Structures are given as structure tokens and as C-alpha cells.
Structure 1
Amino acid sequence: MTQKETTKRAAKKAAPKKSTAKAKPKSKKRASKKPSSPGWGRRIWSISWKCGLIVIAAVFIYGIYLDQIIARKFEGQKWHLPAQVFSRSMALYPGAAVSHNQLIAELKLLGYRKVANPRQVGEFSASKTKVDLWRRPFLHPQGSQVEQRVMITFDSQGVSSVSRNKDRRQLAIFHLEPVLLDRILTGDGEDRLFVPAEKIPQPIIDALILVEDRSFYEHHGINPFAIVRALMVNISAGRTVQGGSTLTQQLAKNFFLSSQRSLVRKIREALMAVIIDFRYGKDEILEAYLNEVYMGQDKARGVHGMGLASQFYFGRPIAELTLPQQAFLVAVIKGPSYYNPWRSPERAQQRRDLVLRLLMEADQLNVAQYTAAVESPLGLRKADKPVHQKLPAFFAVVQHELARRFGNSLLKQSGIKVYTTLDPMAQEAAEKAVKKTMARLGKSDKSLQVGMVVTDKYSAGIAAMVGDKVPGYKGFNRAVEIRRPIGSLVKPFVYATALSHGDRYNLATPIKDQPITLKSGQGKSWSPKNVDRQFRGEVPLLTAFKKSINVPTVNLGMSIGVGSVATTLDKAGWRDKIPEYPSMLLGAVNGSPLMVAQVFQTIADNGRYRKLSSITSVLDMDNNPLPASPITPVQALDPATNYLVQYAMTQVVDSGTASRLGKAFPRTTLAGKTGTSNDSRDSWFAGFDERNVAAIWVGRDDNGKTKLYGSSGAMAVYQDFLGDRPPISLRRTPIHGVVNGHFERTTGVAKQAGCENSIALPALESSYHPAKNCGDPLSWWQKITGG
């Protein structure tokens, strides 16, 4: 056997033998034993902390989302502030055509308080010829006006002087603040008047924190203790009687959330409150709350913020409220509807007194102050005194002019301020006159309607406008939209054209009053008639004018040319097409009260044409004026000729077709002209005093007969207007180019003063050449006719 084989055999023997027997099984108990698993506590903990991380991450991400929403609101434009529309600002200066009574009426409209001796802003005292006024500060289009105390004195012509009380310095001009007429809202229906926190009276802030959130300056947006306390009180009462929301939570809800009650909304509100408190200072949060909080309902408008609430409840700026009034503003926050002071005055007063008692208990009022406050009435504005004006006719003109001058998108801008030409006292007088006169005239004809425009003679602004016999009705604006024959209102422009030819015509020139028949190019004939169906042969030019005699007017118009009359009317501001037919000389020209007011404004303004406007200026949100083209005056009519026309119009009132008006105001110089269209379908009047020009139409929308003349219809409205707004006599000061002439009554020949049968009348200096004695040279009419 070899060594190799021997080694293999030995290795084989040494290897263990494979057993053929079955292995002994392990015990049952040992076979079923497994590793032990974690306990339920550890498993819940594991799930909880993982879910917690997810929730925290979700809240964090959601918080970032909410933070962006909040930042956009707070750091951008918090509110879309409505456009504020103001009236004109009353200007007072030596010679201003403002009477003592009119100033006092204006001050009362602005909410000034009459006292024995003014001691603070917003007060005035008055004697028979003086007014001692402490004016409020306000924003004027020409810049901010500071509070100022002045003494205003009056004479029979109006304002005689304005002096500053502190040093008796005479002021060249002094403005009152304009009346806030309205705010033009956007679609959300929220109305507010923004007031910075520093201009909110401190007692309001103190009372607000005391009543609504005592720990406002300590908490971080939410107050867990207040929430728990409110929960316990509500559970005990079985209903919700107390809330635990902080001012910050209320702000978050008002700014970003609905009023729907749910746990999800409440959690979101709390989260947003924490973010707001973290990001912004307490003063900024408080200012936002004071201007956002819901304070009541003015019909379809939601009243938001303390500034507007002060005007809504008391009709005056928040800075001028008494302590009890300030307490009421805080009291009403809890429930503006429930504590409505006009519906539930006792409930509202009890709530106010509770706020006052809390102030006393917090040592912010002493017992004497508290007693005086709770014994005072609520001091509300009169319920019938609106906080915004119903001026549909005027506002329609304003919006049209805004769009034309500044573009259609202007009113979409936040916080703009529109200063208009409206005179609130003139508007009130116009509305009263329309209601009173139309009620009287309507007894015989309920279909009668009216349109009225009043302008300011000095500014060429629209001072008042009424477009319906129900002034607040928003519909067809007859002051602007009608086109009706203006009748004899065209005659001043016929006579102005003639009087401009001083070498041919003066106020005493005889004019033919004889039958006349005119033929048109189509062969149609026209024979004008006088209203009384009589002919006088000849009448002086002034008599033909003041008595509104038709035939002499046509004869005069034909002699100077229909085209010349049309040119005069166009220069005066008539912008519609003027038909150059003979019938135009008697008023076959269609127009509106606004168009009539425009041309008579030119006569009242010494022949200067200025386009009538309703807007003086517009300021943007930062109080910067928006650029606009200035209105440039144009001398349309010769001042001397215009003076003669003005004089003739005063004679219409003194002894002509408007003499009833003259008798109603016997010591006042007024100018006017009546007008009636064919078959008495349209009654017109245009007239002016030293301050205002008025144009009025009375008629029927169906163009039916009214049985009214200009003197019995439209002039009656003007007379009632002046009854409520006493006129200021025209100042007929001498003008260059006009002399006091003397003329023979029947021939119109220029005479020396003192000649027999002569009359004194103003005349153009350039053409007035009286005879050296009282002889009888050829009259002007004879020179013209050659006879």
C-alpha cells in the first residue's frame, strides 16, 4: 500500500459517520417562542410625535401662507377708501356777497355750535353785524388750513372785513371748510372716513381697551385666560353671553374672515391674531381696528370706523365730541343694531352709561364727571338730517365731468377727494322752492315738471341743480337733458346785438311795432303777433324789451340780421346748433336750463364767457392735485354793451313782465327775463342778483300745453328760491365806456340834462352826442330811415 493510499484511509476513518436515526425533536414550548414586540405606549408615542411633526410643519407652512396674506393687507392698501365729494368752500373777504344770516346758516350746516363766547374749535358767537368764529382745521385744495379764530363784520352789501382775533390783522381772504356731500362707494358697500390714531380722542382709546380688551398691551394676539373665563361663563349661563376675543382677533376676523361661527374659523382667527401681533406694533393694530370696526348701518351702506361713526351719529368731527358721545361710540361696538339709538334710545343710553361707569371705576373719571356725563342726553344728529346728500342731478354732471376731464378710471382710485362748485345753501333753497311751487302749480296740472340750474356769478360754477319736481329722484335730468324752445329768453341777445351798434340804436330808440310778414326760402310765410294781439306803431327799444313785445323784436332782429344775433348767442356760450331763421328771434331755439344758465352767466359776468363747471379740483390719496386744464375766460360781449343789457333786465323786474318779482323784493336790484314758448307749452325764467344766476324751466314731458307764462310758472320758482335765500342787490357800478345819457322820450334823440320830456338812460359814450341846447335835430331813427 502506498503512502498516499494509507493517508486517505486514515482520513476516512477519522471522519464522523452519518447517522441514520431520526433527530430528536425540540420541545413544543421551545419551538413557539418569538422575540418580544414594543408596548402600546411606545407605539402611540411613536405615532404621536410623527403626527405632531407633520402638524407643526403644516401649521408652519399655513402660517407662512397667512403671514403673506396679512402682510399684503397691512403693508399695502388696507382699505379702498371711497371717493369723497365736497361742496365749494365758502370764501369770506371784504366785499364778498355773503350776508350775516347766510354765514350763520352755513356754520350750522357745518355743525358749528353757537355759544356766548367761543372757547374751542367748532364754536361761534354772533351779534347783529359780527360773527366771532373759531374755525376748524381742514384740507383745502390750495393746502391745509389751520384752526383759526376770526372776527367777521357785515354791512348792507355783505362782508365788510375779516380780521384775525389774536392780532387784529386784516385777512385778504378766509375760507370755511367745505361740506362733505357724499362718498362714492365701490361694490363692497363699506363706507368709512379714515382717521389716524393720533387724531382719535384719548378717552375713546382708553374706554375701548377697558371695555373690549383690558390686557391689549400685555397679550400676544390672544388671551387664553379670557377664553377660559368666557367659556366657563357661557357654560354656566347655558348660552353665549361673553366673548374671549381680543381686539387683535376681532381685527383679524373683520379683515380676513367671515362672521360664520365654527371651530376652524376660530382657530384660523387666533393664528392670524398671533401673526399680526408678532409683525406689527400695538399702535398700528389699534389704528387699523379703530378704522375697520363695524359701527352701524346707513341704509345700504355699512358704517365702518370711528371717524364716520362720529358723523353718522352726531353730525360732527370726532375731535369735537363730548365725553358722553365718545363713550357711546365705544358702547355701540357690542351691537350696532341692538343699541341703535334712534330705535332703542333707552337701551343705547344704558349701554353708554355702563361704559362711563367702567371709566369711573378705573379712576379715569371722577364722580362729578361721571354724574354730569350720565345725566347728559345722547346728543344725536337729527334723524332727518342725512350724512350724505341726495343730489342725483348734480352728481350726474359731476361724474360726467370727472370722466371727461380725468378719465373713466378715476373713481376706482382709493382716497381721492373731489371738490365741487355746489353751494349747499343754494341747493337747499332750490329744492325747497321746487317742492313748494310745484305743489301749488300741480293742483291744476299734475303732469308739470321742472328743471333748475343756479350758478355762482363769480366762479362760473354750478351752485345748485334740480332735475325733477321730486329733487331726490334719480332719473331723467331735466336741468341738462331736455331740449325745449326757450321763447323770449333769446331776446337779450337780440337787443345786445343791436345795442352794440351805438351809432344806430340806444335804449330810447323807437322801434316799429307794425304788422310784418316774412317768407322763407320754401315760400312759407310767417306773421309774428304780439301776445296782446295789438300794434302800437312805435315803441322805445327799452319798452319793447322789458314788456317782451314780439313784433318790435322781430323788426329789430331783421334790421341787424339773424346771423348776427346767432353769432352773439354763440359767443355767449350757446354750443348747440342755432337755426338762422326769423322765428329764432322769438325763441325758436331748443335748449336746456343748463344751456340757458350758461349764456345768462355771461351777461351777469359783465360779458365774460367762462364754461360752466361742477368741479374745482381733484386731489389724489396723497392730497396732491391732479392736473387739469384751466378754464380761461373770454370777453364774449363788449362790457359797455353788456352793461346796457343788464340795465334793461333790471327794468324787466322793476316795471316789465317780471314786475311781480320786483314788488316782492322792493329794495333789491334784480335782473331777469321771462320766456314763454308757443301755446304756453314751456315756461322759462332767467335772472340774477349779485351772487347767483338762475335758469328755470317748467313744462310737461309730453310737450302739452301748460296755461303758464314765464311769469306765472318758472318765475314763481325763482321768487320762492329768493324767499328762502334772500338776494343781494346788484352792484351797478359805473363802467368805462358808459355814460348817463338823456333822450327825448318819443324820438330817442340825445338831449342835454334838464330838457323837457327827456328821460335819463345809460348810453355808450362813443355814440352819445347830445345837442348843445334843447332843440330838435333829426332823431337817430330819422337818420336811419331818411325821413
Structure 2
Amino acid sequence: MTDKATPKPKKTTKRPAVKRVSAGKGGKKRATKKSPQKSGWGRKIWSITWKLGVIAAVVIAAYGIYLDQIIARKFEGQKWHLPAQVFSRSMALYPGAAVSHGQLMSELKLLGYRKVANPRQVGEFSASKTKIDLWRRPFLHPKGDQTEQRVMITFDSNGISSVARSSDQRQLAVFHLEPVLLDRIITGDGEDRLFVAADKMPQAIIDALILVEDRSFYEHHGVNPFAILRAAMVNISAGRTVQGGSTLTQQLAKNFFLSSERSLTRKLREALMAIIIDFRYEKNEILEAYLNEVYMGQDKARGVHGMGLASQFYFGRPIGELTLPQQAFLVAVIKGPSYYNPWRYEERAQKRRDLVLRLLMEAGELNVAQYEAAVESPLGLRKSDKPVHQKLPAFFAVVKRELSTRYGEALLQQSGIKVYTTLDPMAQEAAEKAVKQTLKQLGKNDESLQVGMVLTDKYSAGIAAMVGDKVPSYQGFNRAVEIRRPIGSLIKPFVYATALNQPKKYTLATPLKDEPITLKNGQGKTWSPQNVDRKFRGQVPLLTAFKKSMNVPTVNLGMAIGVSSVATTLDKAGWKDKVPEYPSMLLGAVNGSPLMVAQVFQTVADNGRYRHLNSVTTVLDENNQPLVASKRAATQAIPVASNYLVKYAMTQVVDNGTAKRLGNAFPRATLAGKTGTSNDSRDSWFAGFDERNVAAIWVGRDDNGKTGLYGSSGAMAVYQAFLKNRPPLSLRMAPVDGTVQGYFDRNSGAAKQADCGNVIKVPALRESYQPVANCGEPLPWWKKLIGG
């Protein structure tokens, strides 16, 4: 048995206690002991603190880099999605233009020009009975920038006689007014704005903004600690929040990137972003972003952002034309657009504006006299019933459809595009008034009556106006485009155009049978057309049958020339849908819409030339470069000479035919028209034109019920009211090549000489007018002896 080894005791090494030597009495040093526990905790706290500090610094730096990337993407990319701007046509003024003095005055009023005794700046004009002195604004035109320019426009009975540049009296070939901004198409967040570059912003707005919102804007680095401390003290003493300490840069950071949440975290993030923004960007760039981002009010569902749009929203004119008090108001309203709503709280809004004016005076930006004059001025707001954007649901629906078809569906998602349309604001206003007035009157007997109306510009083949409901602002069913109803006698001009293109057989004097006729359709069913008065006259001249809208002679004529030939003419003239080739088609058993009717009558008004109706002329991208789009070529659908005869016949409809009431209302104007009524008076139609506009109008019921209206008592009444609102320009009916003045026997339709008896005088194709000698009577024996 062996003994167990005894373990050796472990050696421990003791650290000698640290002695701190201190001086005692007599200068002798004495050592003191430091507590080992206290020294260890100190080192631990310090170690944790500096490590946490490093971590915090890394996190803040990383977070700062993250925020910096967000900020850079916003500032250096697309700051905003700018809504597509939609403009009206640009009114062209030139010698001979069919624009009256009153029409130009109305256009200038719509554009927000100010009438003064003597124009002193852009946006002003003066007027006498025959002249208008106009200082036009600069604007972006599809064909290039137009500079500001002052001109003298002179008028005569036919319209504009001259346009002279005021600087050197040079006569201008053409002069454009800026188009009306109709609307901006909002596609995303409901924010609406009109971008204005900083160098285009009035200096008084910038000065006032800095005075009111951030006096140290050019000195601080995004955050102003002194302003924050001052605001905190004021709020504590008041017991509520009465003052904010945010800089313009902080406000911009909140508007661009953050919510309106009230929390310390959000405020810290806002401050950090403001510092980054201030470090990265110039003060003027920050200021420009703020001036275009700041919330300025609410236009129903649209948020009004930026000074540019606010100027239009509150005053109805460009920001560069605002008076000093108006500029001060824009800065004043930033504090609370709802609280200082000038239409609801006028006194409150004016006091706030006057405070801004006083601050400008105290800063030396205004003298006492300027200040006193400014505070005495009214707010000068636009009338609350005058909309900032036009309510044109029917027209805008057509514009959107055309943009999608010609430019692609993604176009409206692009930022900053500018869409120039064909809409004539004056024609639209007159059309809407006519619809409201007439349907109110007609609706006394039938409240279910509805309307669809399309107006085109005869010269450009553009849609000048459109109404799709008796309440023009209604955004539902668009009857101008979407209905398909029998067009009745509106088809007759194309029946007669087809016949008159056969000059060897037909003239305006050719007699047509007006006798009972029975026809069979493809199913063996019989059809016996009747005249409206259910009478038969044996035969009538072609022109009489046309202007009295007689059914039986028209059917006889159509059957003689062929239903398919009439369908071909209608198709070439631009009819959208396939035409049913049945005899009943000759009396309008063809379904169409006002837009389709406007298309084919535009062809007649335009000397037989077919041009596809359009609503969009040009689209510019965000860099103001035109986008390429598809375009249809024009064709000669109806020969010019025979088309002229149809136009003449349509003037006779107004002169002494079914539209005689219209002619009596405007005896000094030559107008062309055609009435139409479907079976049982379910649909009332009218199509016609003056020298400027082509109109197509339908009045009826959505349930296809009987209305008791004829074309002349329903749709034509709307057109007549339209011309009262927008006086007509008389048609210029100069004869065209290939036509002559003809004289024809009233009974036989034979060509005669002018001095023959019982003749009618009508235009004719040259090849159809070969008058016989001696009025067609045999020569006396003595004339035969001498050879006639």
C-alpha cells in the first residue's frame, strides 16, 4: 500500500495595493488606498459608453447615407409627377380671319387679360369699336416659343382686317394668342401643381417668404437651434403650440419625405434630412423646390401645391402678373390654407395678408406710401363660380381615347407632358349655354329628353366643342359619342351628292317621281314609304325634294342610282360603321352618333374633302419636344363641283325649306343645314354649318321613347340658341371650278337660256348645262332661210 501524495498548496500572487500619495501637514506625502471596486466600475462604464458611441455614430452615419440616397433620388431625379397639361386651340389672328371684335374680347377675358386705358405691361389690352391694342404674354406654342408682343388689331364687317406690330407698325401674316389651359389630368396622388422656375418667381414673394417663414434661411445649415429654442419657450409660456421652429428646409423635408405625424422620432428624422439637403444643394435650389411643393389649398378633391398653381387658383392669372398685395397673400396663406380661406374668411385672410405687407415695410422692402396703398386694396380674388379648370367630361373622354390610340396607353403616366387640343373655349361655352337653355324649355313637356352635340372647326377638322348630356358637366354616358340612333333625313345629302355626281342624268332641276312606291326587302317583306304630309305630287324638281325633305322622291332617286352607291359615298365621307344596304337606308335607317354625323357633314362643309376628325393637334414631352404620332391622310370623298351643289341645296333648306325658321332668325347670314327625324319622332336631328363651325345635334330619350319633336323643333332649336350665343359667320359661297350658273325648265328640267320663260336659276356642273337654242322652240321660216 502506497501512501497518497499530499497536494501542494497553490501559489497566489498578490498585487500590491496601489497607494496614492497625498501631501499632509508639513508638506509630507502620505499614501492613500484607492477602492478596487470603484475603479473597476468606472472602467466598465467608460468602455461601454465609448463603444455605444461608436456604434451610434456608425448607425447614424449609415442612416445618414441611406437618407442621403433617398434625398438624392428625389432631388436629382423627378421631384414631382407633373400632371399632363391640356390646352385649348391657340386662336390665330390674321387679315381675313373670321373673328369678330366681340369674339376676341371674350377670348381675352377668358384668358385673364385686363382691360385698361393704355396697356403698360403684358396681360393688358385696350379696345375701341374697331381696334384692340393688345400686349400679349409670352407662351410655349407647339411650333416654338412665342415672346411677349404688343400689337394693334383692326376689324371690319368680315372680321380682322389687319394685325400690326406696335414696335415698328409691321403687318403680321399671322399672330397667335396663347391657348387656354383647360385642365391638368391627375393620375396619381391627387396633387396638382404648375411648376414655376425660381428665376420666374416674383422677388417680392421670395422676400416675403423668408421674412415670414425663415429669416435666417441663408445663414443656417438646414436646422436653426435658436429658432427651435425660442419656439419652445413661447409655446411653454402660452401653454399650447403657437409658434414653430422649423426652417424652410425642414418643412420641405417633411413635405417631400415624411408624414404629418407629431413625434420626436419624426422630428429628429426631419432635422437630419434637412441638414443633408442643406449640405448637398444650393439655397436657391432648395427654395425653388419649396415654392413648388408647399401646400396652398384644396380645390375639391385636388390638393393645390406650389405658388404657380396657387396664383391661378386664387386669382385666375399667371404669377408674374400678380399685384404686390396678391403676392403677399400667397405667402400669408401658407400658415393655414383652410383657416385663411379667403372665400370663407375674407376678413381673417386680409388681416394675415396685411401682416405680411407690414413685415415687408419694416424690412425696408416697401415704403410707407406703398404699404398704405397695398393694405387698402381688396384681395382681388377670382370669382368663385369661375372654375380653375374646365369641366369637359365629354371632350376629355375623346381626348384620352385619342391619346391612347395615337400615342400609346402609357402616355398619361409620363410627367410634364403638354397636350394641345382643338377645343374652342368660346364655342364650348356657347354650346353649353344653348343646351341648358333649350333643354330646359323643351323639358317642360318631357323631363326625360337628352342631348348630344358636336361642333367642329371647318378649317382644321378639329372638334371645337362637345356636349354629352343636358347637364354638360355630367361625367356619365356621353351621348355625343356613344349613342347609336337612326339619323333619319340627315342621310339625304349623301343620296343627292351621289346622284349629282352623274351630271348627264341629274341636276338640281331634274324632275323626280313623287308617286306611290312599294319595295321588297331581302326577307320578302314590303315597304311603302310616305312623305311627311302623306301626299303625292306626281313629280317635283330635285332641289325641291331636297329642301322640303320629301321621302318618296328621295327613295325613287336612291333606287335609280343604287343603294350600294349611296353607301359608298357615305363611307368615303367618313362614316364609321358599316352601312346596311337596304332601301330603308335611303331614309335614314342607319344608326349613328352626333360625332359620326359631324364627321360626314364636315366633309361636305370642307368642299368634299375627308379629313378624320381629331381632338389633339400636338403633344410635347417634358423637354417640350413634340412626340411622333400616327396621322390619317386626307382624301377627296366627294368631287368638289358636285359637293358645291349639295352645299347650295343645304343653304336653300335654311332659306325656304324645313329649316326656314333658322333662316328667319338670322336673315343676314348664309347658313347651310339639314333637319332629320326618325320614325314616330323618336329622334330629332340637325346638322349644319356656317363659315366657321359644323354642328351635329341629337335630341331624344335614352329609353327610345317618342318625343313629339321634329328635327326643326328639337335639335335645330339647340343650334339656333347656339348661334344666338355665338353669332354666325356667313358662308362664302363663291362658285368653284367646274360649276356655272344654270337655267332649267321648271317642268322638264331641260337646260334653257336665261331669257327663256318658266325657268329656274340654280348652279350646275358645266357639263350638265348645255342650253338649247331659241328656248327649244322651232325657228320661224324666215330664220331658217337665213340660216338661223
TM-score when normalising by structure 2 = 0.93
- The structure having more radius of gyration, on CA atoms, is 1
What residue in structure 2 maps to residue 696 of structure 1? 697
What residue in structure 2 maps to residue 239 of structure 1? 240
Deviates more, 1:569-578 or 1:154-163: 154-163
Give the AA of the match of 1:560.
Answer: I
Whether the 8 Å contact between 2:153 and 2:160 is mirrored in structure 1 is yes
Secondary structure of the 1:79 match is coil
Give the AA of the match of 2:137.
Answer: R
After TM superposition, the structure 1 = structure 2 runs for residues 141-180 of structure 1, keeping only pairs within 5 Å, are 141-180=142-181
Cα 1:731/1:51, change in 2 over 3 Å: same
After TM superposition, the structure 1 = structure 2 runs for residues 504-515 of structure 1, keeping only pairs within 5 Å, are 504-515=505-516
2 CA distance for matches of 1:752 and 1:260? 92
Give the AA of the match of 2:693.
Answer: N
State the Cα distance separating 1:635 from its structure 2 match: 0.8
Give the AA of the match of 2:507.
Answer: N
What residue in structure 2 maps to residue 544 of structure 1? 545
Secondary structure of the 1:465 match is strand
- 2:97 paired with 1:96: yes
Secondary structure of the 2:36 match is coil
Whether the 8 Å contact between 2:507 and 2:768 is mirrored in structure 1 is no
What residue in structure 2 maps to residue 305 of structure 1? 306
Whether the 8 Å contact between 2:682 and 2:709 is mirrored in structure 1 is yes
What residue in structure 1 maps to residue 385 of structure 2? 384
State the Cα distance separating 1:558 from its structure 2 match: 1.1
After TM superposition, the structure 1 = structure 2 runs for residues 14-413 of structure 1, keeping only pairs within 5 Å, are 36-39=36-39, 44-413=45-414
State the Cα distance separating 1:604 from its structure 2 match: 0.3
Secondary structure of the 2:751 match is coil
State the Cα distance separating 1:502 from its structure 2 match: 1.1
Give the AA of the match of 1:551.
Answer: V
What residue in structure 2 maps to residue 626 of structure 1? 627
**1:118-150 residue CA offsets vs partner (Å, 9 max, x unmatched):** 110001111112111111111111111111111
Give the AA of the match of 1:341.
Answer: P
**1:612-637 residue CA offsets vs partner (Å, 9 max, x unmatched):** 01100111111111101233211111
What residue in structure 1 maps to residue 447 of structure 2? 446
What residue in structure 2 maps to residue 9 of structure 1? none
Give the AA of the match of 1:192.
Answer: R
Give the AA of the match of 1:667.
Answer: R
Give the AA of the match of 1:126.
Answer: A
- 2:416 paired with 1:415: yes
Taking only aligned residues, the RMSD between alpha carbons, in angstroms, comes to 1.6
- 2:498 paired with 1:466: no
**1:408-443 residue CA offsets vs partner (Å, 9 max, x unmatched):** 111111111111111111111111111111111111
- 2:708 paired with 1:707: yes
Q: Figure out how many residues of one structure are paired with residues of the other and give that number.
A: 748
State the Cα distance separating 1:38 from its structure 2 match: 4.1
Secondary structure of the 2:37 match is coil
Secondary structure of the 2:82 match is coil
**1:153-201 residue CA offsets vs partner (Å, 9 max, x unmatched):** 1222222221111111111111111111111112211100111000000
Runs of at least 5 residues in structure 1 that lack an aligned partner in the other structure: 1-25, 778-787
Deviates more, 1:744-753 or 1:131-140: 744-753
What residue in structure 2 maps to residue 657 of structure 1? 658
2 CA distance for matches of 1:144 and 1:35? 85
What residue in structure 2 maps to residue 6 of structure 1? none
What residue in structure 1 maps to residue 687 of structure 2? 686
Secondary structure of the 1:715 match is helix
1 CA distance for matches of 2:580 and 2:187? 44
State the Cα distance separating 1:43 from its structure 2 match: 5.1
2 CA distance for matches of 1:754 and 1:219? 98
What residue in structure 1 maps to residue 562 of structure 2? 561
Give the AA of the match of 1:36.
Answer: P
Give the AA of the match of 2:430.
Answer: A
Secondary structure of the 2:427 match is helix
State the Cα distance separating 1:581 from its structure 2 match: 1.0
What residue in structure 2 maps to residue 18 of structure 1? none
Secondary structure of the 2:466 match is strand
1 CA distance for matches of 2:34 and 2:641? 125
2 CA distance for matches of 1:51 and 1:519? 100
After TM superposition, the structure 1 = structure 2 runs for residues 714-725 of structure 1, keeping only pairs within 5 Å, are 714-725=715-726
Give the AA of the match of 1:86.
Answer: F
2 CA distance for matches of 1:464 and 1:169? 34
1 CA distance for matches of 2:551 and 2:34? 128
Secondary structure of the 1:774 match is helix
What residue in structure 2 maps to residue 495 of structure 1? 496
State the Cα distance separating 1:268 from its structure 2 match: 0.6
Give the AA of the match of 1:513.
Answer: D
2 CA distance for matches of 1:754 and 1:99? 41
Q: Which runs of 4+ in 1 moved over 6 A?
A: none
State the Cα distance separating 1:42 from its structure 2 match: 5.7
Give the AA of the match of 1:63.
Answer: G
Deviates more, 1:683-692 or 1:173-182: 173-182
Secondary structure of the 1:319 match is helix
Cα 1:34/1:370, change in 2 over 3 Å: closer
**1:11-31 residue CA offsets vs partner (Å, 9 max, x unmatched):** xxxxxxxxxxxxxxx9xx9xx
Secondary structure of the 1:492 match is helix
2 CA distance for matches of 1:520 and 1:286? 77
Secondary structure of the 2:774 match is coil
What residue in structure 2 maps to residue 603 of structure 1? 604
2 CA distance for matches of 1:775 and 1:641? 26
Secondary structure of the 1:452 match is strand
**1:370-419 residue CA offsets vs partner (Å, 9 max, x unmatched):** 11111111011110111111111111111111111111111111111111
Deviates more, 1:686-695 or 1:516-525: 516-525
1 CA distance for matches of 2:355 and 2:590? 68
What residue in structure 1 maps to residue 671 of structure 2? 670
State the Cα distance separating 1:100 from its structure 2 match: 1.1
Percent identity over paired residues: 81
Give the AA of the match of 1:610.
Answer: R
What residue in structure 2 maps to residue 740 of structure 1? 741
State the Cα distance separating 1:475 from its structure 2 match: 1.0
Cα 1:62/1:91, change in 2 over 3 Å: same
Deviates more, 1:331-340 or 1:144-153: 144-153
**1:337-393 residue CA offsets vs partner (Å, 9 max, x unmatched):** 000000100000000000000000111001111111111110111101111111111
Deviates more, 1:751-760 or 1:606-615: 751-760
Give the AA of the match of 1:599.
Answer: V
Secondary structure of the 2:454 match is strand
Give the AA of the match of 1:476.
Answer: F
Secondary structure of the 1:310 match is helix
2 CA distance for matches of 1:490 and 1:43? 100
Give the AA of the match of 1:331.
Answer: A
Give the AA of the match of 2:673.
Answer: G
2 CA distance for matches of 1:336 and 1:510? 74
State the Cα distance separating 1:772 from its structure 2 match: 2.9
**1:670-727 residue CA offsets vs partner (Å, 9 max, x unmatched):** 0000000011010000000000000000111111111000000000010111110111
Give the AA of the match of 2:227.
Answer: A
Secondary structure of the 1:37 match is helix
2 CA distance for matches of 1:629 and 1:162? 35
- 2:640 paired with 1:639: yes
Secondary structure of the 2:86 match is strand
Whether the 8 Å contact between 2:163 and 2:175 is mirrored in structure 1 is yes
Cα 1:521/1:188, change in 2 over 3 Å: closer
Secondary structure of the 2:126 match is strand
